[in-house]
Structure 1
Amino acid sequence: MTPFAADLFILLRRDLRCFVREVESFPDDATLWRTLPGISNSAGNLALHVVGNLRHFLGAVLGGTDYARHRDQEFAQRAGTRAEVVSLLEAALSDVETGLKALTDETLAQPYPQVLMGLQPPTARFLMHVSTHLAFHLGQAGYLRRALTGEAGATGGMGIQELAD
């Protein structure tokens, strides 16, 4: 793995592990799929969206996995168990590693191999975007869990200790 890819893997792994802790911190399966007025996506939907995003952009496009994304389903699903969602997050971590291992310094500097809204940013820059996208939705899920349950405790989202690897 290139040094950039190795560093990015540490960040993505940390945030995916934290997303697992968020999902597991919901008091029951039903609450994972609840929202509040003005909030359109449940924490379950945010997790599915992150899974689809990572498995497609890193796993399938960069790593050559056979993952086929169904983006509409990421937002349409309204039920499922916490264990099922955790399993999907763990599968995303595996695809992330596959995609990052496939990168070279040359491919990181080249345009991302898929056109995105008419653009093809450099692959390294797009991967930084993917990382912040994950962190954004992780934060949303954490705040939603706290608002739904009244529990103020955090799940250790941005632990510096996990950067030492």
Structure 2
Amino acid sequence: MDKEAQLIEELVKNALYRMDESTRMIKKSLEAITEDETWQKPNEALNSIGNLVLHLCGNMTQYIISSLGDTEDIRNRDEEFNTQGGLTKNELVKKLEDTVDDAKRVIFDAGLSNW
């Protein structure tokens, strides 16, 4: 394996590991708060934890799944911040896990097939 292929393999492995570790820590943090706290905003200038999870999913969908995966970008960024509830912590975690799984699949495929 040449140096470029080794570098790409290491970058892909590191990205996949970091996504898993970050997801684990987000899930752990969500476990420590109540359903109500998930959607509370400290003030009108700040976002709720629920909004931040939706925003993270939006970022991964736009910048990884759509861009690297060559699919249509259908992101509605304003909705990520305007949502004031409607999803439970478990539903947010499921959305995050599904988005991370899709992003990891795209990164893995792009890292192996495009180089």
Instruction: Give the number of the structure whose residues are more often helix, by fraction.
Output: 2
Q: Which amino acid aligns with 1:75?
A: F
Pair 1:102-2:109 in alignment: yes
Q: Which amino acid aligns with 1:71?
A: R
Residue number in structure 1 paired with 2:5? none
Q: Which amino acid aligns with 1:59?
A: I
Pair 1:5-2:19 in alignment: no
- Find 1:31's aligned residue among 21, 28, 37: 37
Shift of 1:69: 1.4
**In 2 relative to 1, CA 67–24 (structure 1 residues): closer, same or farther, beyond 3 Å?**
farther
Aligned 1:33-72 pairs, distance under 5 A: 33-37=39-43, 39-64=45-70, 68-72=74-78
CA RMSD of aligned residues (A): 2.5
Which sections of structure 1, spanning at least 5 residues, go unmatched? 109-165
Q: Which amino acid aligns with 1:55?
A: T
Q: Deviations over 1:103-139 (max 9, x none)?
A: 248x68xxxxxxxxxxxxxxxxxxxxxxxxxxxxxxx
Shift of 1:26: 1.3
Q: Deviations over 1:71-96 (max 9, x none)?
A: 11110100021111011110121122
Pair 1:78-2:84 in alignment: yes
Shift of 1:33: 0.5
Q: Structure 1: which 4+ aligned runs deviate by more than 6 Å?
A: none
Contact kept, 8 Å, 1:35 with 1:42, in 2: the verdict is yes
Q: Which amino acid aligns with 1:91?
A: D
TM-score by length of 1: 0.57
Shift of 1:6: 1.0
Q: Secondary structure at the match of 1:37?
A: coil
Q: Secondary structure at the match of 2:95?
A: helix
Q: Which amino acid aligns with 2:84?
A: R
**In 2 relative to 1, CA 96–23 (structure 1 residues): closer, same or farther, beyond 3 Å?**
same
